[in-house]
Structure 1
Amino acid sequence: MPNARPVPTVRRRRLGESLRRFRNAAGLNLDDAAEALGWKAPKLSRIENANAHIRPVEVSALLTTYGVTDPEVFDALEELAKDAGKRGWWQTYNGIVAPAYADYISLESDSDSIHIFAPLLVPGLMQTAAYARETIAGITMTRTPEEIAALAEIRLARQAVLTRPSGPLKVWAVISEAVLHQRFAVRPDTMRDQLRRLREVSELPNITLQIMPLDATPHPGSAGGFSLVGFPDAMPDVVLLENLIGASYVENVAEVQTFADAFNRIVAAALPVDDSVALIARMEEGKTT
């Protein structure tokens, strides 16, 4: 239906939140800002709350009204408006990819950096096909074998961002040592192959990999895992939190900063990079000390 309200995707929410921040910084309320463009306040409210479309030219008009002059801000937000409803390769898996997961893949494709604390599983961007299938089957519980295979394909396809020609995604991952001790009774080679994969990706210049040792001092990661997704230019970062029933996002700037500060403390508590890679190599060889 042409007049249907757009789905408030993460892209639209990021755009709306950015426009709201610039409006507040300009000292304008909704009525004043809308009146300056000949709009009604409810229209601007819907845009800021990700419940309405906005064209790039309208984004430019708003930013001008708010006194923004940085051309990088204009480019970033206009591009976000243009891509707010963009469909990606993952849309070919319609019915398998949940909306929240599709949102995350789109974020991942837009981002230039991701900081991950992984206390339970190897991050998806570093998984082998076998590890992906086994862990997806264990977590999803109700998926058919065909759906599990498709989700594993999607997870591996996401890894293209690590070597994309337009600029590889920079990933800094801290993985709990406990994850590396996991065993797969039916396919015992799964973990050894996964350890090899971790060692190989650690050699990429855009990857920083650390292991959180079992005897680490207490750190903020004890509260759970998260992914801090960073974007170029003026776009605010987003934090992904996952559990059995899906994903949720932290988008408030102050709250996102809390996770950024936590990640810095997690990094400080983890093994240095060289020691982490050496530990992975020893475990790949079957040595645990």
Structure 2
Amino acid sequence: MPAGGRPTVRSRRLGTALRQYRHAAKLDQPQAAEVIAASQARISRLESGHVTARVIEVRLLLDAYGVKDLEVRAKLEELAKRSKNRGWWLEHAQHLQPDYLDHIALEDDATYIRQWQPALVPGLLQTPAYAEAIIAAGPDYIAPENLEQLVKVREGRQAKIGEGGASYTAIFWEAAVVHPLVNVDIHREQLSAILGAMKRQNVTVQVLPLSAGVLVGSIPAFSSFSFDSEPAVEAVAMENLRGTSVLEAPDDLAAYGNAFDLLRSAALAPEASARLIRDVLRSMKEE
């Protein structure tokens, strides 16, 4: 069973896929239950993510549903194996909201990560000092020891990008570059860190110019994730004042995929974005 009795993002993804393939095969839950010699209640709980399917159950169900694609089968079997794994982030679970844990699990599984941030430097690019300043300035009081843990978690999230474990694209508004929201020294360090990250082959950074103000105001911050060799959006996470919302409905995924494409088209190219950041750094040194 997923930790704490609540569906984990991995068990939920697995359950959703199994339900979709069952529907495509035109089988009902009692028929699926017969395949694995279990109750209809177990199929229901597997499909809702409240329990994690064993690998042998996944194989038997996919056989019954006529799923022969080896890549799909391997992906779902891997989800079954990993759903019960204890991720590094669970060491900090007492300091984190459950939905934020889901966000981190999505990042950990993703092959493609895209982030749009209208006001700040995206979290996966933030330096420890910038992250600490931004988190501390939030509306909720955070005890110093919890603040330290949150910054460590943010650093842990960045490790996959630094190791080249996922293709990462970030877009953020020019205001985050030209108008420091933190101490000037911290801001300067942050801009230098972004330029360093842009040298990695798996990282793309684009700055949306100030002139795109209407577009900025119409699209809230979000992260999207893909889990296969192709970058089709399979989950979206949206941060808010009280936590993180994960969207997985097809219509939602299509809408946010289109929104990111729109932002990418309106943003400066990576080379022009780097020139802008370097120009701002140069002007800061001259002042």
TM over 0.5: yes
Q: Secondary structure at the match of 1:8?
A: coil
2:29 — aligned with what? 30
- Structure 1 CA distance for aligned equivalents of residues 259 and 225 of structure 2: 14
1:228 aligns with 2:228: no
Q: Secondary structure at the match of 2:211?
A: coil
- Structure 2 CA distance for aligned equivalents of residues 233 and 215 of structure 1: 35
- Structure 2 CA distance for aligned equivalents of residues 106 and 150 of structure 1: 17
Contact 2:2 2:52 in 1 (8 A): no
1:136 — aligned with what? 135
CA offsets per residue over residues 156-186 of structure 1, 9 Å max, x none?
Answer: 122110133xx5211111111112234356x
Q: Secondary structure at the match of 2:67?
A: coil
- Structure 2 CA distance for aligned equivalents of residues 196 and 71 of structure 1: 44
Structure 1 position 237, deviation (Å): 1.2
Q: Give runs of aligned pairs for residues 41-60 of structure 1, distance below 5 A.
A: 41-60=40-59
2:195 to 179, 194, 199: 199
Amino acid of the residue matched to residue 282 of structure 1? D
Give the aligned length.
Answer: 284
Contact 2:19 2:47 in 1 (8 A): yes
1:253 aligns with 2:246: no
- Structure 1 CA distance for aligned equivalents of residues 70 and 270 of structure 2: 38
Contact 1:90 1:97 in 2 (8 A): no
- Structure 2 CA distance for aligned equivalents of residues 213 and 3 of structure 1: 43
1:208 aligns with 2:207: no
Amino acid of the residue matched to residue 185 of structure 2? D
- Structure 2 CA distance for aligned equivalents of residues 73 and 40 of structure 1: 25
Amino acid of the residue matched to residue 273 of structure 1? P
Structure 1 position 197, deviation (Å): 0.8
Structure 1 position 245, deviation (Å): 0.3
- Structure 2 CA distance for aligned equivalents of residues 56 and 184 of structure 1: 49
Amino acid of the residue matched to residue 267 of structure 2? A
RMSD of aligned residue pairs (Cα, Å): 2.3
- CA 159–3 in structure 1, closer or farther in 2 if over 3 Å, else same: closer
1:17 aligns with 2:13: no
Q: Secondary structure at the match of 1:286?
A: helix
2:236 — aligned with what? 239
- Structure 2 CA distance for aligned equivalents of residues 264 and 4 of structure 1: 36
CA offsets per residue over residues 230-259 of structure 1, 9 Å max, x none?
Answer: 102699711001111000111112321221
- Structure 2 CA distance for aligned equivalents of residues 222 and 130 of structure 1: 29
1:123 — aligned with what? 122
Amino acid of the residue matched to residue 206 of structure 1? N
Amino acid of the residue matched to residue 136 of structure 1? I
1:173 — aligned with what? 170
Contact 2:233 2:254 in 1 (8 A): no
Identity %: 37
1:88 — aligned with what? 87
Structure 1 position 68, deviation (Å): 0.3
Structure 1 position 149, deviation (Å): 1.5
Q: Which runs of 5+ in 1 are unaligned?
A: none
Q: Which has the higher helix share?
A: 2
Amino acid of the residue matched to residue 78 of structure 2? E
Contact 1:239 1:251 in 2 (8 A): yes
Amino acid of the residue matched to residue 86 of structure 2? R
- CA 225–216 in structure 1, closer or farther in 2 if over 3 Å, else same: same
Contact 1:240 1:249 in 2 (8 A): yes
Q: Secondary structure at the match of 2:124?
A: helix
Q: Which runs of 5+ in 2 are unaligned?
A: none
Structure 1 position 15, deviation (Å): 0.6
Contact 1:73 1:233 in 2 (8 A): no
Contact 1:211 1:271 in 2 (8 A): yes
Contact 1:217 1:269 in 2 (8 A): no
- Structure 2 CA distance for aligned equivalents of residues 48 and 108 of structure 1: 22
Contact 1:240 1:250 in 2 (8 A): yes
